[in-house]
Chains A and B, each alone.
Chain A
Amino acid sequence: MGHPVHLVIDGQPHDLTVDPRTTLLDALRDHLGNMSPKKGCDHGQCGACTVLVDGRRLNSCLLLAVSLDGAEVLTSDGLAPDGELSAMHAAFLEQDAFQCGYCTPGQICSATGVLREAADGRPSVVTDDHVDDQPIELTEDEIRERMSGNLCRCGAYVNIVAAVQQAAGASTASEGTDR
């Protein structure tokens, strides 16, 4: 029944034996005690479980741990090694981008993925069809579209957008907003 899986979680190697039904989220929380990713809907709809797997943001609730042998997983905890906050963490604090905080680790991982995807010139549906290799500027529209897989029941969206923009190095003061 048990399958061996080697995972590197937040920089630490782990050898686990898992039932194939175990999701990465349950492996992290129940097997390894890493409570950073949260279980919100457990169906890929809320984004609270978002982690970075080999650099890509994914819903850990929809991944079977057994299929990830050899993967490197980063949680929001791992993005702040030894408690040293990343620019994204700091921006969430400075912009007051959360209330209860339950969705925040998923938001942080997702937003960290968004920064990388935009820097790599990967389009969203609100990006112009025009093709070039240039990094994509994270306007408010781009951030809202790219972060749509992360729900916040407290409704901190306005400040989450500001935090992602701050972390992206955009000047929130000079960025035009219509609201």
Chain B
Amino acid sequence: MRPFDYARADDPAGAVAAVAERPDATYLAGGTNLVDHLKLGITAPDLLVDLGRLDLADIEELPDGGLRVGAMVRNSDLAADPRVRRDHPMLSRALLSGASGQLRNAATTGGNLLQRTRCVYFQDPTTPCNKRAPGSGCSALGGYTRYHAILGASDACIATHPSDMAVALAALDATVVVLGAGGETRIPVTQLHRLPGDEPERDTVLEHGDLITAVELPPPASGTRSTYRKIRDRASFAFALVSVAAVLDLDPDAAQPTVRSARIALGGVAHAPWRARRAEQLLAGAPATRESFRRAAAAELEQARPVEGNEFKVTMARGVMVSVLAELAGLGEENEEPHDE
């Protein structure tokens, strides 16, 4: 690990000033990803600005009934908050699906959003990687691709974003509050993470020195149901192959139960949490039937461009989408047979 300076921030503005003026400075929050990367040699900052003493660890109720989650609220505390469990069970389940009990006790809301990909080549400094060393090439193409993207990838990078929490926040239409050198800005969480394009080294739209101070959750829409389901290679403590966060608003009084609106985000499939906008458009006003859900999932995954070794994720994503929507619509269990059109 290369030597670095250490400073403890007393207030958010001071933290931003300290990092903004040093190109190789970075923030330390829970440290679960950063300290690992320091050891692996993936990153070598010359200054760590510790956010641990900032007053950003509260969950406050907003006038509109939403919640403002401080950036330093730990993942386990957010998942256990009774207001989050009551209003956004999808978010609580997503948080609890991630990592281990110890890691969730350390990891923060802001840090979870800004964690880096777990692409094995990104995490191995001895291999070419356009995200870690721009222009060096992508080792995943033609390599081990089981955890890689099937949607929105580029020739430069097929990495996926590893967060579960961010997938739920995308389906919730949460807002990220960012303090930068020029003041405070608010970014829809669905616009925080980038697709790789030809700049895979940039995970998000944030500039150097920008500090996430809070995430704001909208009030729950009455009558909606939401959940999060994660498919992984072992029962616990593993990253998603595919995950689905969904919020379903049904009109139960119609002659046939009808979808008023659906908000769906997929995890484990793209460089960012993937909002399934095509599926959402098809579902608005559609009967809440398995057939509708199948058609919507198929339309969304039509855009998929898997690489050799992760073709299975297209079928898996389609199946999990249908299964989750059917559960939220109260349609009961029925195995989604993989069918290749």
Interface residues, chain A, CB within 8 Å of chain B? Answer: 1, 3, 19-21, 23, 42-44, 47, 50, 56-59, 61-64, 66-67, 110, 113-114, 117, 120-125, 127, 129, 131, 133, 144-150
Contact = CB atoms under 8 A, between A and B. Distances in A.
B270 interface: no
A20 B48 contact: yes
Which applies to chain B's interface (DSSP): helix, strand, loop or mixed? Answer: helix
A122 to B, nearest CB: 4
A58 B6 contact: no
B219 interface: no
Interface string B25-39: 000100110011011
Q: How large is the interface on B (under 10, 10 to 19, 20 to 34, 35 or more residues)?
A: 35 or more
B31 A63 contact: yes
A56 B106 CA distance: 9
Contact of A131 (B8, B76, B82, B102): B82
19 contacts: A21-B3, A43-B36, A44-B103, A56-B105, A57-B101, A58-B106, A61-B35, A62-B103, A64-B6, A64-B31, A64-B48, A66-B6, A67-B52, A113-B105, A114-B101, A120-B80, A123-B79, A148-B235, A148-B237
A110 B3 contact: no
Contact of B105 (A58, A64, A133): A58
B102 A129 contact: no
A42 B40 CA distance: 10
B85 A149 contact: no
Contacts of B99: 149
Nearest to B2: A21
Contacts of A61: 35
B66 interface: no
B281 interface: no
B6 A44 contact: no
Q: Which 7 pairs show the lowest CB-CB distances between chains A and B? A: A149-B100, A148-B236, A20-B6, A125-B96, A148-B237, A122-B80, A129-B89
A150 B101 CA distance: 9
A129 B85 contact: yes
A64 B28 contact: yes
Given A47-B100, A57-B105, A59-B106, A21 B38 contact: yes
Contact of A67 (B3, B4, B28, B85): B28
Interface in B77-119: 79-80, 82, 85-86, 89, 92-93, 96-97, 99-103, 105-106
